[in-house]
């Protein structure tokens, strides 16, 4: 069995630690490779194979007409004009000037369609692949992905979110998002107040005390708490922790991304993916533009546009774009018709999304909305279709199952098909 094949097994669920142990033992026995050789060889393979995803979440429902589906020749377009992009034939709204330059790497879906017009429900649906239900708390896509492909040896959290987001549901502590409030600085309280020797002794005492409580009828509570503490300790001692701190980042990089929370969040996302995280989400609030849609999206896009474009260029320059899926979207679109307050209201029937990386062919548009933007004219893409396509980029089977607490088998998503055009 070649290393390569074994890595594949590793990615489909066998942990890397186990893999290293078996291979190194075998290699030692055969006397062919040194332990160190094996590890470094494998690290390279893994680096190549490891997939990850960045979700840029525009919270509140961004207007597709002010994004990537402008209607310059229709009254519904209001103040928004269209501009050319680096790909001839693709036009996007005029505020997205930086994004226009990287359109070769970006695929647009203009025919996203859904039924949920309530923020909470729609956000839940687009984060978990399911509509909310009282009986089960669905894991987020992030948790589902990390559960399947996160490298257990990486010491920083596999799921990170700049801003609040949905949790791991029944998948538990290991896949809960690590929420970052202030991107660019070390998370607070990552340095112990006592020296490392004493810190370790404390942890040892804690372990003994925990065992006593476990015996008193709280075994699984203790287990999950200990899991959390192990993760936290790993983070504290992790050499990768410095990924959170921008001190070593050149100033021009920060300028390119934008010196604001969203820009910094995107830069942090790239640094964390590089350091081994599997899923990073960066949220920008404020897209619920029931009034003054033009002024308000102007301001928001001035943050998102440079950050999104810089992220794609940066990932590409580092050779990470092929293995990193980037998705830019919100929970629904907005009404094509401008309301009397100069705003647009909730509109799940047609919205849009931008994707890049992860093997997606850039420079193309999937689907089309009608001339006035009021309905999907061509190639509707459902949430299920989107999820299946994302799974495809991450080389995960969307139908692979986990078990809910009540033993119900749950797929990542229950319906939908891969949007094949994205990859051809």
Partner 1 sequence: MSNPGSQSVSRTALFPAAVVCCLVFGITLMGFSIGTISAEEATPQVNKMGAKKPVAKKSAAREENANPERVKQAKNAGKAKQADNPNKKQADKKQGKKKNNAQKANKTAAQKAKQQQKRKQSQLAAEETNESTAATLNEMNPPAPVDLAHVREVSKQIDELITVGLNNSGIAPAPLASDEDFLRRVNFDLTGKLPTSAEVVEFGLSSDPDKRANVIHNLLGTREYAQNWAQYWRDVIYTRATDPRAQRQSPVFTEWMQGQIAANRSWDEITTEMLTATGRMSQDGQTGLFFAHNGEGEEIAAEASRIFLGIQIQCAQCHDHFTDQWTREQFHQLASFFPRAKVRRVEGSEPRDFEVYSRDGNANPQQSKLFASLADPESFLATYDRNNDGVLNMRELNPRQGKPENKKAFALPRRILAELDTDKDRQLTLAELAEFKMPGKFKRNAAEHFMADLNDPSAPGTPMSPAFFLSETDIDEGLADIERRTVVADLITSPENEWFAKAYVNRVWTVLLGEGFFPAIDDIGPEREMRHPEVLDLLAREFVASGYDMEWLFRVILNTEAYQREALELDPAKTSSDFAAVLPTRLRADQVYEALVCALGANEPGPAAVKKRKNKKSFEEGRRNQFQKLFEYDPSENSAEVSGTIPQALFLMNSQRINGQIEGRNSFVRELLDQEMTPEAITTEIYLRVLGRTPDKEEVELVADYVQQAETPLEGYEDLVWSLINSTEFLTKR
C-beta closer to partner 1: residue 222 or 280: 222
Q: What is the 3-state secondary structure (H, E, C) of 358-419?
A: CCCCCCEEECEECCCCCCEEECCECHHHHHHHHHHHCCCCCCCEEECCCCCEEECCCCCCCC
Using DSSP bridges, classify how beta strands 324-329 and 52-58 pair: parallel, antiparallel or unpaired.
parallel
Closest separation in Å from C-beta 213 to partner 1? 5
Beta-carbon count within 10 A of 109 CB: 28
Residue 230 Cβ vs partner 1, minimum distance, rounded to whole Å: 10
Please count the other Cβ atoms lying within 10 Å of the Cβ belonging to residue 333. Answer: 30
Residue 138 CB, shortest distance to partner 1, in Å, is: 11
Between 31 and 239, name the residue whose CB sits nearer to partner 1.
Answer: 239
Q: Which two tokens stand for residue 339?
A: 């309301």
Neighbours of 259 (CB within 10 A): 12
For the CB of residue 412, give the shortest distance to partner 1 in the complex, in Å: 19
In the complex with partner 1, the residue whose CB is nearer, 235 or 418, is 235
Query: Cβ closer to partner 1: 161 or 389?
Result: 161
Q: How many CA atoms lie within 13 A of 40 on its CB side?
A: 5
Question: Which of these, 378, 380, 376, 388, lies nearest to 416 by C-alpha position?
Answer: 388
Question: C-alpha distances in angstroms, 172 versus 52, 224, 354?
Answer: 20, 8, 30
The residues of the shown chain that bind partner 1, judged by CB under 8 A, are 115-120, 134-135, 137, 157, 169-170, 172-173, 176, 178-179, 187-194, 198, 201-202, 205-206, 208-210, 212-213, 216-222, 224-226, 228-229, 231-232, 235-236, 285, 335-337, 339-340, 345-349, 374, 405-406
CB of 269 to partner 1, least distance (A): 18
The distance of closest approach from Cβ of residue 31 to partner 1 in the complex, given in angstroms and rounded to an integer, is 43
Secondary structure class of 118 (helix, strand, coil): coil
Closest CA to 114 of 99, 102, 103, 124: 124
The counts of H helices and E strands in the chain are 12, 16
Cα(383)–Cα(218) distance, integer angstroms: 40
| Closest to partner 1 by CB, 138 or 270 | 138
* Residue with Cβ nearer partner 1 (193 or 424): 193
Looking only at the bridges linking them, the beta strands covering 82-84 and 91-93 are antiparallel
Shortest Cβ distance from residue 29 to partner 1 (Å)? 39
Cα–Cα distance list, 222 to 194, 213, 217 (Å): 24, 7, 10
Shortest reach from residue 341's CB to partner 1, in Å: 8
Q: With respect to partner 1, which residue has the nearer C-beta, 89 or 407? A: 407
Closer of 316 and 349 to partner 1 (Cβ): 349
């Amino acid at each position: 069995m070649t290393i390569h094949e074994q890595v594949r097994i590793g990615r489909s669920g066998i942990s890397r630690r186990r893999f290293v142990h078996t291979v190194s033992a075998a290699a030692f026995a055969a006397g062919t490779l040194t332990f160190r050789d094996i590890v470094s060889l494998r690290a390279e393979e893994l680096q190549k194979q490891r997939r990850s995803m960045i979700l840029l979440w525009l919270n509140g429902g961004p207007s597709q007409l002010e994004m990537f589906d402008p209607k310059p020749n229709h009254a519904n377009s209001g103040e928004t004009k269209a501009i050319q992009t680096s790909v001839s034939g693709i036009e996007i709204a005029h505020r997205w000037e930086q994004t226009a330059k990287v359109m070769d790497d970006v695929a647009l879906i203009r025919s996203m369609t859904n039924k949920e017009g309530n923020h909470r429900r729609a956000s839940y649906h687009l984060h978990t692949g399911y509509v909310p239900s009282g009986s089960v708390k669905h894991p987020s896509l992030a948790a589902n992905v990390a559960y399947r492909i996160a490298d257990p040896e990486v010491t920083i959290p596999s799921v990170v979110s700049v801003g609040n987001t949905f949790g791991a549901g029944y998948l538990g502590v290991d896949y809960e998002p690590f929420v970052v409030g202030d991107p660019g600085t070390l998370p607070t309280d990552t340095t112990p107040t006592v020296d490392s020797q004493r810190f370790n002794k404390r942890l040892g005492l804690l372990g003994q005390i925990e065992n006593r409580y476990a015996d008193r009828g709280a075994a699984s509570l203790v287990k999950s708490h200990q899991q959390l503490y192990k993760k936290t300790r790993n983070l504290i001692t992790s050499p990768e922790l410095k990924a959170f701190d921008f001190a070593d980042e050149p100033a021009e990089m920060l300028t390119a991304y934008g010196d604001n929370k969203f820009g910094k969040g995107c830069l942090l996302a790239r640094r964390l993916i590089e350091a081994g995280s599997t899923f990073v989400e960066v949220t920008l609030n404020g897209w619920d533009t029931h009034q003054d849609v033009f002024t308000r999206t102007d301001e928001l896009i001035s943050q998102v546009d440079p950050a999104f474009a810089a992220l794609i260029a940066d990932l590409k320059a580092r050779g990470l774009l092929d293995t990193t899926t980037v998705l830019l979207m919100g929970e629904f679109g907005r009404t094509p018709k401008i309301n009397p307050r100069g705003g647009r209201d909730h509109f799940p029937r047609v919205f849009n999304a931008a994707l890049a990386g992860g093997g997606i062919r850039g420079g193309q548009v999937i689907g089309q909305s009608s001339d006035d933007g009021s309905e999907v004219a061509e190639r509707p893409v459902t949430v299920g279709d989107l999820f299946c396509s994302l799974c495809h980029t991450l080389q995960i089977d969307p139908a692979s199952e986990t078990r809910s607490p009540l033993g119900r088998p749950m797929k990542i998503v229950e319906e939908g098909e891969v949007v094949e055009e994205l990859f051809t």
